[in-house]
């Protein structure tokens, strides 16, 4: 299959490495210097090269801020039967775009970042495939993610953004708060060091990814829940209320035991 990857960033490079030995691949980026170390693939820095390549599948791996604009730029250059795909972490506006353009499409979200995940051992990681879209496109990505050992879930566009707002925004924001109040310790405890490792991993992610997660329209509601819980916990601490604390600990233990 002829596959075009849009964007030579971390995820774009990951997909080139993953696919280039089994498919005829090309990668396009507006910054030619980012293509210098791309091997076993065609490297495009002009839109006309895309037209000549005639891809059968396009994987849009640019940042969410530019995803739709890049799609609109390349659409006139693609064959009519080319399948469009994105790996965006937030799907707001994607369904409307796909339906308006009338093209075959598949939308997925590999829920790991090359900065934080061990790409050599992904069996503990997850991927979401949107249940709406082209059947053959979904089969392609399902087979690809299964070969990586990923746990695959299928959601609608709406369900995806609800899940991401919960599963990413809460740990991300909690990590930000930890980092914001943290101070250097000469003899940190084990729990502190574990939180520090998580914070370094999260803050090592690309700022564009962090922005995408935080600006998900559903994130605000999830962060409000953190604020409400902190308010209750602070009241328990201020009052030194053992009864309420015991009840609180029992409640949150049940949450993590589910």
Cβ-contact 108, 85 below 8 angstroms: yes
| Selection from 20, 82, 22, 86 nearest residue 50 by Cα | 82
Alpha-carbon radius of gyration of the chain: 21
Residue 195: Cβ-neighbour burial (10 angstroms; 0-12, 13-18, 19+)? middle
CA-to-CA distance for 162 and 151, rounded, in angstroms?
18
CA-to-CA distance for 154 and 127, rounded, in angstroms?
9
CA-to-CA distance for 51 and 26, rounded, in angstroms?
12
CA-to-CA distance for 69 and 30, rounded, in angstroms?
13
Angle 242-257/219-239 helices, nearest 10 degrees?
Answer: 150
CA-to-CA distance for 84 and 75, rounded, in angstroms?
9
pLDDT for residue 208: 76
CA angle 92, 20, 13 (to 5 degrees): 50
Alpha helices (H) along 86-218: 94-101, 135-147, 157-167, 169-181, 190-203, 207-214
Model confidence, pTM: 0.80
pLDDT for residue 113: 63
Per-residue confidence in pLDDT tens, the chain, 258 aa: 999 999 998 899 999 999 999 999 999 999 989 998 888 999 999 999 999 999 999 999 998 889 999 999 999 999 999 999 999 988 989 999 999 999 999 999 998 765 545 556 677 789 999 999 999 999 999 999 999 889 999 999 999 988 888 888 899 999 999 999 988 878 788 999 999 999 998 898 778 778 878 888 888 998 999 999 999 999 999 999 999 999 999 999 999 887
Instruction: Tell me the Ramachandran region of residue 53: left when phi exceeds 0, alpha when psi lies from -120 to 50, beta otherwise.
Output: alpha
Give the position of tokens 């005639």. Answer: 54
pLDDT for residue 116: 46
3-class SS at 130?
strand
């Amino acid at each position: 299959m002829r596959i075009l990857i849009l964007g030579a960033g971390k995820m774009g490079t990951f997909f080139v490495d993953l696919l280039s030995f089994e498919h005829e691949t090309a990668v396009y980026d507006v910054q030619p210097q980012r293509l210098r170390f791309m091997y076993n693939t065609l490297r495009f820095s002009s839109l006309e090269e895309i037209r000549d390549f005639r891809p059968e599948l396009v994987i849009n791996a640019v940042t969410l801020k530019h995803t739709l604009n890049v799609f609109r730029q390349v659409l006139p250059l693609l064959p009519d039967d080319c399948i469009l795909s994105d790996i965006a972490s937030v799907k707001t506006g994607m369904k409307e775009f796909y339906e308006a353009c009338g093209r075959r499409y598949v939308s997925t979200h590999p829920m790991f970042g090359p900065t934080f995940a061990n790409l050599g051992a992904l069996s503990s990681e997850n991927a979401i495939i949107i249940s709406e879209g082209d059947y053959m496109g979904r089969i392609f990505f399902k087979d690809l993610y299964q070969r990586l050992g990923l746990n695959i879930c299928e959601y609608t566009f709406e369900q995806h953004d609800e899940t991401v707002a919960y599963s990413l925004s809460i740990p991300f924001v909690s990590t930000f708060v930890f980092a914001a109040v943290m101070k250097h310790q000469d003899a940190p405890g084990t729990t502190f060091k574990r939180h520090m490792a998580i914070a370094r991993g999260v803050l090592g992610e690309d700022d564009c990814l962090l922005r995408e997660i935080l600006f998900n329209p559903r994130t605000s509601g999830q962060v409000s829940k953190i604020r409400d819980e902190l308010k209750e916990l602070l009241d328990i601490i201020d009052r030194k209320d053992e009864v309420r604390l015991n009840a609180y600990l029992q409640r949150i233990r049940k949450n993590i035991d589910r």
